[in-house]
């Protein structure tokens, strides 16, 4: 083995050792945070409120340790599906700021020289500001969406490309960042979330006097109602799409039959035409009022079933931990649209 290979091997071992040490420290920090939160207090209430707010949009928090690297951990989880490369993301972001010094130096506070400022930023565990979020977004050509409790979304644009990736993170307790994921996403894959402007949620919140729990129910009901309407429309369309030889054009005494006769149709098709003709005649002879009443009864029964399903969903959500709501995320679409009602753009 050459001297160069020996140096490279030692370097790789050192990096691997640092990575394992960092992961161990991260697990300890996260366990400590959860233990403190389980003991109650205002932070615990904030966590539950934040979780409910995200749940209304079909999202959840994926926590990362509050070790001073939380921003890069959260962004790394969004971009790559895990937070292990946070040190690399930190170095690359600081390098970008140095290369574009003219864009970032005017925003350095407390009269700290820019060189000293970026030197401190490069150290693991150093807390960072909004300027670093902007630098990360530009360097990676992504847009970053920041969720906050009871506040509009913040969007930081690193690019104006229409197909740019969006990284969704949560800003909590005034000092900590977590990753935001679809509620059933437990994978180690990029989050692939994208905002979708809509006023449905804000309307539901206003109508329910900003009761998050009932607003969630209302949002789910609207979604299910749209699905049931689309299925009903599909069934109507499919019922009207009879095979060509079953069209009213070809039924007995139909225009096509009168002009061309039954030529080209085999005996089975002729018999089908006759049967279809009889069914059409029976439909026309049915009492219209009775049919209308039957449809109304079906509609009422369907509404009752929907209400019962939604009631059961709320009971389940109350009795189970938020983590137990998650399911296998392998079947989720490549990009999940996040319904939002207010955003502030940077």
pLDDT digits (tens, 9 = 90+) for 214-237: 666 666 666 556 555 555 555 555
pLDDT digits (tens, 9 = 90+) for 285-329: 655 556 777 777 777 887 777 777 766 766 665 555 444 444 444
Helix, strand or coil for residue 166?
strand
Considering the domain architecture, whether residues 281 and 176 belong to the same structural domain is answered as no
Based on the residue annotation, tell me whether 310 is a catalytic residue of this protein.
no
Considering the domain architecture, whether residues 20 and 148 belong to the same structural domain is answered as yes
Active-site residue (options: 168, 176, 185, 245): 176
Considering the domain architecture, whether residues 314 and 328 belong to the same structural domain is answered as no
Structural domains in the chain (count): 2
Residue 128 · residue 121 · CB < 8 Å: yes
pLDDT digits (tens, 9 = 90+) for 26-48: 666 666 666 655 565 556 788 89
CA atoms of 263 and 248, how far apart (whole Å): 16
Residue 334 · residue 193 · CB < 8 Å: no
Helix, strand or coil for residue 62?
strand
Q: How far is CA 243 from CA 238, 239, 264, in A?
A: 11, 10, 15
The answer to the question of residue 247 being in a domain is yes
Considering the domain architecture, whether residues 166 and 265 belong to the same structural domain is answered as no
Percent residues over pLDDT 90 in the chain = 36
The overall longest dimension of the chain from CA atoms, in Å, is 96
Considering the domain architecture, whether residues 165 and 250 belong to the same structural domain is answered as no
Q: Which of 43, 45, 81 is nearest to 62 (CA)?
A: 81
Considering the domain architecture, whether residues 327 and 228 belong to the same structural domain is answered as no
The pTM is what? 0.55
Residues of the chain falling short of pLDDT 70: 1, 3-8, 10-11, 14-16, 18-43, 197-290, 310-311, 313-346
- Please provide residue 175's backbone torsions phi and psi, each rounded to the nearest 5 degrees: -160, -5
Range of the domain at 80: 3-197+323-345
CATH number of the domain that residue 154 is part of: 3.90.70.80
Considering the domain architecture, whether residues 16 and 78 belong to the same structural domain is answered as yes
Active-site residue (options: 22, 67, 178, 185): 67
Based on the residue annotation, tell me whether 89 is a catalytic residue of this protein.
no
Residue 327 · residue 320 · CB < 8 Å: no
Please, what is the Cα angle at 144 between 140 and 145, to 5 degrees?
170
Active-site residue (options: 22, 70, 185, 245): 70
């Amino acid at each position: 083995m050459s001297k160069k290979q020996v140096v490279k091997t030692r370097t790789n071992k050192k990096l691997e050792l640092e990575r394992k040490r960092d992961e161990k420290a991260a697990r300890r920090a996260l366990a400590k945070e959860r233990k403190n939160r389980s003991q109650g207090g205002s932070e615990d209430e904030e966590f539950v409120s934040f979780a409910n707010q995200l749940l209304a949009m079909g999202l959840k928090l994926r926590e990362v340790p509050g070790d001073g690297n939380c921003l890069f951990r959260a962004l790394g989880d969004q971009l790559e599906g895990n937070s292990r490369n946070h040190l690399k993301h930190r170095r690359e972001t600081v390098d970008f700021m140095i290369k574009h010094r003219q864009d970032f130096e005017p925003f350095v506070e407390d009269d700290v020289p820019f060189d000293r400022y970026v030197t401190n930023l490069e150290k693991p565990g150093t807390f960072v500001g909004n300027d670093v979020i902007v630098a990360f977004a530009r360097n990676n050509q992504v847009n970053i969406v920041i969720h906050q409790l009871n506040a509009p979304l913040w969007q930081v644009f690193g690019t104006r490309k229409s197909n740019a990736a969006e990284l969704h993170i949560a800003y909590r307790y005034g000092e900590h960042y977590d990753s935001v994921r679809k509620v059933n996403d437990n994978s180690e894959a990029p989050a692939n979330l994208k905002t979708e402007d809509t006023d449905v949620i804000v309307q539901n919140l206003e109508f329910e006097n900003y009761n998050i729990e009932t607003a969630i129910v209302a949002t789910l009901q609207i979604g299910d109602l749209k699905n049931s309407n689309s299925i009903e429309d599909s069934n109507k369309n499919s019922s009207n799409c009879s095979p060509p030889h079953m069209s009213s054009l070809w039924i007995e005494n139909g225009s096509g039959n009168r002009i061309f006769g039954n030529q080209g149709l085999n005996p089975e098709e002729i018999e089908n035409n006759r049967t279809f003709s009889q069914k059409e005649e029976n439909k026309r002879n049915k009492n219209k009022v009775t049919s209308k009443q039957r449809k109304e009864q079906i509609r009422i029964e369907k509404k009752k079933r929907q209400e019962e399903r939604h009631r059961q969903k709320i009971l389940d959500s109350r009795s189970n931990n938020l983590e137990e709501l998650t399911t296998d995320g392998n079947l989720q679409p490549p990009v999940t649209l996040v319904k939002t009602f207010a955003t502030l753009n940077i």
